[in-house]
Chains A and B, each alone.
Chain A
Amino acid sequence: MRNYIILFLSLWAVIIGILAPTDIYLILLLIGLLITVSIGENYLTKEGKFILKSLIYVLLLLFISIVVNKIYDILVK
Chain B
Amino acid sequence: MITIFTTKFITKRLIAFIIFLISGIILIYFGTLYGVVTYINLGIGAFFIGIVIYSLIPDRVVDKNIYMTTVENYHSILENILSINNIKGNVVYIPPYYNLKKGGIYITKTENIESIVNFIPMVSDGLLHYRHGILITPPPGYEFIENCGVDNLCNTYPIQSTSIMEQILKSNNLLNEVEINENENNEITLEINRQVNKSDYGIIPINVDSSIILAVAISLNKVIYIKDSEKYTNKIIYKLKILMDIEDIIW
Q: Is the CB of B42 within 8 A of A18?
A: yes
Closest to A24 in B: B41
A17 partner, pick from B38, B53, B149, B160, beta carbons under 8 A: B38
Given that A2-B171, A18-B42 are contacting pairs, would A48 and B48 also be in contact in the complex, using a CB cutoff of 8 Å?
no
Residues of A within 8 A of B57 (CB): 2, 6
Q: Is the CB of A13 within 8 A of B48?
A: yes
Given that A6-B52, A9-B52, A51-B51 are contacting pairs, would A45 and B41 also be in contact in the complex, using a CB cutoff of 8 Å?
no
Q: Is B68 an interface residue (CB 8 A)?
A: no
Residues of A within 8 A of B61 (CB): none
Q: How far is the CA of A5 from the CA of B51 in the complex (A)?
A: 13
**A1-40 toward B: CB 8 Å interface, digit per residue (1/0)?**
1100110011001101110111001100100000000000
Q: Is A55 an interface residue (CB 8 A)?
A: yes
Given that A22-B41, A45-B147 are contacting pairs, would A13 and B56 also be in contact in the complex, using a CB cutoff of 8 Å?
no
Main DSSP-derived SS at the A contact region: helix
Interface size on A, residues (CB 8 A): 29
Q: Is the CB of B55 within 8 A of A14?
A: no
Q: How far is the CA of A29 from the CA of B45 in the complex (A)?
A: 8
Q: Kindly provide the distance from the CB of A42 to the nearest chain B CB, expressed in whole angstroms.
A: 5
Q: How far is the CA of A44 from the CA of B156 in the complex (A)?
A: 16
Residues of B within 8 A of A52 (CB): 51-52, 55
Q: How far is the CA of A11 from the CA of B168 in the complex (A)?
A: 23
Q: Is A77 an interface residue (CB 8 A)?
A: no
Closest to B152 in A: A42
Q: How far is the CA of A52 from the CA of B40 in the complex (A)?
A: 22
**B165-199 toward A: CB 8 Å interface, digit per residue (1/0)?**
00110010000000000000000000000000000
Q: Is the CB of A22 within 8 A of B40?
A: yes
Q: How far is the CA of A41 from the CA of B156 in the complex (A)?
A: 13
Q: Is B202 an interface residue (CB 8 A)?
A: no
Q: Is A57 an interface residue (CB 8 A)?
A: no
Q: Is the CB of A25 within 8 A of B44?
A: yes
Query: Taking beta carbons and an 8 Å cutoff, which residues of B are in contact with A?
Result: 37-38, 40-42, 44-45, 48-49, 51-59, 147-149, 152, 156, 160, 164, 167-168, 171
Query: Taking beta carbons and an 8 Å cutoff, which residues of A are in contact with B?
Result: 1-2, 5-6, 9-10, 13-14, 16-18, 20-22, 25-26, 29, 41-48, 50-52, 55
Known: A2-B167, A13-B49, A51-B54. 14 other contacts (CB 8 A): A9-B52, A10-B49, A10-B52, A14-B42, A17-B41, A18-B42, A22-B40, A42-B152, A43-B148, A44-B55, A48-B55, A48-B56, A50-B55, A52-B52
